[in-house]
């Protein structure tokens, strides 16, 4: 079965998504997500100009060889644009193989080793009390794990608070939106948030928090230590992860579990973090770390170091990525949790899918392949809109990490 066409579909059902659809000589097609939030057209062009032409005529079953070709044929290594394109092709080929053999992709990955993948979702409001209300609502909806964020006194527009996470950030802002930041005020409020949460719901629900790259190693060590009694499931992206060795200092000062890696594009980005056991969870996703093939390579390396995965699952990755994460999730031993942010309703219509959520667990379903598709006619109705991720400035105007 040969690849006959690679279509690139850009659509905006509530936010931008880029999809690769591979067609084959047997009439079986497969889909892969190539969405790189805020830089979507770079990947779309990379796919249609540089990737599609070299794939025509290739064996659609040769997944590993195609993955290696995409890693090596460009000469230039990794990079988010290249790996998002590689990820989409990889996912689409797994989808095709599953459909051709009549099995869900998780069967190709070794079969089920758990009944469902525990999901966490996001509670975040300006006031601590409102975040706790959200937390209680999610517990009623069946969640066993919830991420908590809250406003920082004196700082307007903080990450993870109030704005609709299905469409923000990155959906349709014509210039990067400017948020503020104050580390001292933040460090004052976060311990209070978790104290209030444990008082309200006890220890029966896993609680998580995303620092979103804002702290220095010593600040992160202090925060992790301060939160230890509240037993977080994880503290995420405490630092920008550009220098993996920076996590040594954090690790030396706290036993709060650490998660990093939604921006990682390959094992190279987290090899030291894993090998030195500086983290507990790697957040790499199927869409940015080389598809199912790339994600499996990271997970296999992490397993003996007792590092688990907790795949990035924000709304800026399409339902195709969620489907891939769940086939990986039920069949890979060292999967810890899966992030779940709801997509806009229109996006769920454009990408009909077989995966389900019940009692806090996600399941990929039993449809052959990935169990997700793109309704091309519907997708065409939603035109691409340029959108930027926000930036952050300190009180004195200095730019810092968003
Ligand atoms: C998360 C992430 C997201 C990112 C977004 C950027 O933990 O879900 O931090 O909210 O900010 O995916 O595109
Ligand atoms: Mg995050």
| pLDDT tens per residue, range 363-399 | 999 999 999 999 999 999 999 999 889 999 999 999 9
- Which helix or strand (DSSP H or E) is residue 117 part of? strand 117-125
Domain around 9: 3-104
State whether 97 and 161 are in the same domain: no
Inside any domain, residue 245: yes
Residue 96's contacts (CB-CB under 8 Å, 6 or more residues apart) are 1, 22, 24, 28, 29, 30, 60, 61, 369
| Residue 262, ligand 1, Cβ within 6 A | yes
Expressed in angstroms and rounded, the spacing between residue 210 Cα and the centre of ligand 2 is: 6
Closest atom of ligand 1 to 313 CA is 8
pLDDT band at 166 (very low <50, low <70, confident <90, very high): low
Mutation probe of ligand 1 site: the residue of 160, 212, 401 with most atoms within 8 A of C-beta: 212
State whether 200 and 306 are in the same domain: yes
* Tens digit of each residue's pLDDT (9 = 90 or more) over 77-120: 999 999 999 999 999 999 999 999 999 999 999 999 999 999 99
Only one residue has tokens 């056991």, namely 277
Q: Is the pLDDT of residue 163 over 60?
A: no
Expressed in angstroms and rounded, the spacing between residue 159 Cα and the centre of ligand 2 is: 10
State whether 62 and 96 are in the same domain: yes
Inside any domain, residue 373: no
Q: What is the DSSP string of 267-320?
A: GGGTHHHHHTT--SEE---TTTTTHHHHHHHHHHHHGGGT-EEEE---TTS-HH
In CATH, what number is assigned to the domain containing residue 300? Answer: 3.20.20.120
Expressed in angstroms and rounded, the spacing between residue 98 Cα and the centre of ligand 2 is: 31
The Cβ of residue 142 has, within 10 Å, a number of other Cβ atoms equal to: 12
Ligand lying closest to the C-alpha of residue 390? 1
| Residue 314, ligand 1, Cβ within 6 A | yes
* Tens digit of each residue's pLDDT (9 = 90 or more) over 216-248: 999 999 999 999 999 999 999 999 988 899 999
Expressed in angstroms and rounded, the spacing between residue 313 Cα and the centre of ligand 2 is: 9
Q: Which two tokens stand for residue 141?
A: 């909806």
Q: Is the pLDDT of residue 249 over 80?
A: yes
State whether 192 and 326 are in the same domain: yes
Ligand lying closest to the C-alpha of residue 314? 1
* Tens digit of each residue's pLDDT (9 = 90 or more) over 187-225: 999 999 999 999 999 999 999 999 999 999 999 999 999
State whether 267 and 216 are in the same domain: yes
Domain boundary among 104, 125, 149: 104
State whether 333 and 212 are in the same domain: yes
For residue 269, the Cα-to-chain-centroid distance in whole angstroms is: 15
Q: List the one residue out of 142, 233, 220, 168 whose CA is nearest residue 194.
A: 233
In CATH, what number is assigned to the domain containing residue 66? Answer: 3.30.390.10
Task: Give the end-to-end CA distance of the chain in Å, rounded to a whole number.
Answer: 45
What does the CA dihedral 66, 68, 74, 78 come to, rounded to 10 degrees? 120
Q: What is the DSSP string of 355-383?
A: -EEETTEEE--SSSBTSB---HHHHHTS-
Domain boundary among 84, 104, 124: 104
In this prediction, residues 344-350 reach a mean pLDDT of 97
* Tens digit of each residue's pLDDT (9 = 90 or more) over 252-281: 999 999 999 999 999 999 999 999 999 999
Q: List the one residue out of 20, 28, 23, 27 whose CA is nearest residue 3.
A: 23
| Residue 210, ligand 1, Cβ within 6 A | yes
Inside any domain, residue 395: no
Mutation probe of ligand 1 site: the residue of 145, 147, 210, 389 with most atoms within 8 A of C-beta: 210
Q: Is the pLDDT of residue 128 over 60?
A: yes
Closest atom of ligand 1 to 165 CA is 10
Q: Is the pLDDT of residue 170 over 70?
A: no
Catalytic (active site) residue 212: yes
State whether 97 and 126 are in the same domain: no
In this prediction, residues 324-337 reach a mean pLDDT of 98
Domain boundary among 104, 121, 137: 104
Expressed in angstroms and rounded, the spacing between residue 314 Cα and the centre of ligand 1 is: 6
Alpha carbons 187 and 209: distance in angstroms, whole number:
13
> So what's the pLDDT on residue 164?
59
* Tens digit of each residue's pLDDT (9 = 90 or more) over 295-327: 999 999 999 999 999 999 999 999 999 999 999
Catalytic entry in 106, 120, 143, 159: 159
Q: Is the pLDDT of residue 135 over 70?
A: yes
State whether 271 and 343 are in the same domain: yes
Expressed in angstroms and rounded, the spacing between residue 152 Cα and the centre of ligand 1 is: 19
Alpha carbons 106 and 110: distance in angstroms, whole number:
7
State whether 204 and 61 are in the same domain: no
> So what's the pLDDT on residue 175?
85
State whether 151 and 42 are in the same domain: no
State whether 159 and 204 are in the same domain: yes
Catalytic (active site) residue 159: yes
Closest residue by Cα to atom 1, ligand 1, is: 314
> So what's the pLDDT on residue 157?
84
Alpha carbons 97 and 103: distance in angstroms, whole number:
8
| Residue 316, ligand 1, Cβ within 6 A | yes
pTM given for the model: 0.97
Tally of structural domains, the chain: 2
Mutation probe of ligand 1 site: the residue of 172, 314, 341, 390 with most atoms within 8 A of C-beta: 314
State whether 26 and 130 are in the same domain: no
């Amino acid at each position: 079965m040969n690849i006959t066409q690679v279509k690139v579909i850009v659509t905006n059902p509530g936010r931008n998504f880029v999809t690769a659809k591979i067609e084959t000589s047997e009439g079986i097609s497969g889909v892969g997500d190539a969405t790189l939030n805020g830089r979507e057209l770079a990947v779309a062009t990379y796919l249609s100009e540089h990737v599609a032409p070299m794939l025509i005529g290739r064996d659609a079953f040769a997944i590993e060889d195609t993955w290696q070709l995409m890693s090596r044929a460009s000469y230039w290594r990794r990079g988010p644009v290249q790996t998002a394109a590689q990820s989409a092709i990889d996912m689409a080929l797994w989808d095709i193989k599953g459909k051709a053999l009549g099995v869900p992709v998780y069967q190709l990955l070794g079969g089920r080793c758990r009944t469902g993948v525990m999901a966490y979702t996001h509670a975040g409001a300006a006031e601590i009390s409102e975040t706790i209300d959200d937390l209680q609502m999610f517990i009623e909806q069946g969640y066993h794990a919830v991420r908590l964020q809250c406003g920082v006194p004196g700082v307007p527009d903080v990450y993870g608070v109030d704005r609709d996470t299905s469409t923000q950030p990155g959906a349709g802002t014509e210039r990067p939106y400017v948020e503020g930041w104050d580390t001292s005020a933040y460090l004052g409020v976060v311990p209070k948030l978790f104290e209030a949460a444990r008082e309200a719901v006890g220890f029966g629900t896993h609680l998580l928090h995303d620092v979103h790259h804002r702290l220095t190693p010593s600040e992160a060590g202090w925060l992790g230590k301060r939160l230890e009694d509240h037993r977080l499931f994880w503290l995420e992206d405490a630092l920008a992860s550009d220098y993996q060795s920076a996590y040594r200092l954090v690790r030396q000062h706290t036993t709060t579990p650490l998660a990093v890696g939604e921006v990682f594009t390959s094992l190279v980005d987290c090899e030291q973090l894993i090998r030195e056991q500086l983290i507990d969870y790697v957040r790499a996703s199927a869409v940015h770390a080389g598809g199912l093939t790339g994600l499996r390579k990271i997970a296999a390396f992490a397993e003996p170091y007792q590092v688990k995965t907790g795949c990035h699952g924000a709304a800026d990755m399409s339902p195709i990525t969620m489907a891939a994460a769940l086939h990986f999730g039920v069949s890979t031993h060292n999967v810890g949790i899966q992030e779940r942010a709801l997509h806009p309703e229109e996006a769920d219509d454009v990408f009909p899918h077989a995966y389900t959520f019940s009692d806090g667990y996600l399941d990929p379903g039993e449809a052959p392949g990935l169990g997700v598709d793109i309704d091309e006619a519907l997708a065409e109705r939603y035109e691409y809109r340029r959108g930027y991720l926000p930036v952050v400035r300190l009180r004195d105007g200095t730019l810092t990490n968003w």
